[in-house]
Structure 1
Amino acid sequence: MQEQTLVIIKPDAITRGLSGEIMKRFEKKGLKLVACKMVSLDESVLEEHYKHLKDKPFFPSIVSYMTSSPVMLQVWEGVEVIDVVRLMIGVTNSRQAQPGTIRGDFAMSIGRNIVHASEDKDAAQEEIARFFSEEEISSYERADEMKIYESDELGK
């Protein structure tokens, strides 16, 4: 059964012109983009999004970084999409990310690590609702969906 996850293409990727490459990798994998918008985040939404880091000494640096340019907010859909996207982006510390992952190929930092992705189903639901209304999320079939998945994987 298909699920959804939030991806944020961060300021370093935007200012380096990597957003298209990142999206291309997800699409080539067979994932479906169902929502996308470019926004400038403010401190209040970042405090909510990174509430688990709010009391850390490096939190002001996160806010400064995440407000330094617009970001691209995306919702991707697919079978086990949360795990697939997390594998594709690589570990948080980009210097330790495997070659072939997004962070492994494009980043060298823990903090400037190109992309955020939801860590589990609960986080994905919460994060998607934070940034998108239901009306902003599209529903459609990819033309090649039956070539990407077995019919039972799609619940058909």
Structure 2
Amino acid sequence: MFDIKNHRTFLKRTKYDALRTEDLFVGSKITVYARQLHLVDYGDQYTSRKLGSRKERTLGVIKPSSDVKLGKLIDKIYSSGLVITKAKMTNITRELLQYLTCGPAVALEILGDEAVSAWKKLIESSDSNRARNEARVRALYGIDGIGNSAHGSECAAAAARELEIFFPSPGRGPSNTAKCTDCTLCIIKPHAIVEGLAGKIMSAIEERGFNFTALQMFYVERTNADEFFEVYKGVVAEYNEMVMELCSGPCLALEFQGNEIQKSFRECCGPADPEIARHLRPRSLRALFGKNKVQNAVHCTDLPEDGVLEVQYFFKILDN
């Protein structure tokens, strides 16, 4: 690998355990030896055939419903072998897409082998009443043929067209649903996303009575990660490792609202060290899903006065 800017070889062929084949797709951002890389194309036709021949992107929309358990839906996507590469909670209007009811819905870009048909298979049939006996998304959470909890693109061409509505390139697409008042921020860290734990973590959050008011997937640049964690610089010994973890892959930012929400959600997350959390708060998120003080599954707002600032940093500054 050649560094064009510095005119020197950056990396020779070597084994890198932190990288998986599943991470190598066009549009992905990966970190190799502290250097963030953006994958823009395949190097040759052979690589394209081996890694990209069956890869498809499709749109998945989780429709507005008070009955939908979002964490379980996300977990089903990962457990089926598909990967979420983009996500945003946005307010859907009839003018935007007539097949969706008004209200906040979660739009997903889903990547995988034959993703269009795989996602359609996961959510079929379109009528929830006919799918009650199947272990499908609509069977589990749908209401009827209209309120059937999920939408999937009909074909690859439709997927490309619909993805451009929600995730245009370039551009922002529909605005997110962040309220930025009486709020706190949760970030599901990249290692947890890569390990397919996002759905399980979200389910655990929902089971504890927290409701998502905003949700969006981000690929954080090194400079932004450094800026976001600046308050910990010189205070936490793991500061550099925390920065590298946040920009090592996709993360999922979540907003919650409520009275003293920062305190209650911080208690839900537990101590920063998962080993301590497993002794003091064994049902906390970090106790259940964390590995160490850096890869501890989630970041949460520490101080009440920082809740609005952290939410705004992701959902206003980074989203722009």
So what's the TM-score if we normalise by structure 2? Answer: 0.39
Q: In structure 2, what is the equivalent of residue 118 of structure 1? A: 301
Distance 2:258 2:194 in 1: 28
How far apart are 1:31 and its partner, in Å? 1.7
Provide the identity percentage.
27
Find the counterpart in structure 2 of residue 95 from structure 1: 275
CA distance in 2, matches of 1:127, 1:8: 10
**Which residue of structure 1 aligns with residue 188 of structure 2?**
9
C-alpha displacement of 1:57: 6.3
**Counterpart selection for 1:45 from 221, 224, 227:** 224
How far, CA to CA, are the matches of 1:35 and 1:115 in structure 2? 16
How far the C-alpha of 1:17 sits from its partner, in A, is 1.1
Structure 2 unaligned spans of 5+: 1-180
Q: Is contact 1:82–1:119 with CA below 8 Å preserved after alignment? A: yes
- For the aligned residue pairs, the C-alpha RMSD in angstroms reads 2.1
Give per-residue Cα distances to partners, 1:94-137, cap 9 Å, x unaligned. Answer: 10002111111122311111100111221111101111139x8x
What is the letter of the counterpart of residue 47 of structure 1?
A: D
Matched AA of 2:272: T
Tell whether 2:205 aligns with 1:26: yes
Secondary structure of the equivalent of 2:295?
coil
Secondary structure, in 3 states, of the residue corresponding to 1:33? coil
Instruction: Quote the Cα distance in structure 1 between the aligned partners of 2:258 and 2:198.
Output: 20
SS in 1 for 2:256: strand
- Check the 8 A contact 2:269/2:286 in 1, yes or no: yes
Count of residues in correspondence between the two structures: 134
TM-score by length of 1: 0.77
- Give the counterpart of 2:252 among 72, 91, 111: 72
Residue 142 of structure 1: aligned partner: none
Helix, strand or coil for the counterpart of 2:313?
helix
**SS of the residue aligned with 1:113?**
coil
Question: For the residues of structure 1 that align with 2:219 and 2:316, how far apart are their CA atoms?
Answer: 17
- 1:50-61 counterparts in 2 under 5 A? 50-55=229-234, 58-61=238-241
Where relative contact order (Cα < 8 A, 6+ residues apart) is larger, the structure is: 1
Of residues 264, 279, 291 in structure 2, which corresponds to 1:84?
264
- In structure 1, list runs of 5 or more residues that go unmatched: 137-156
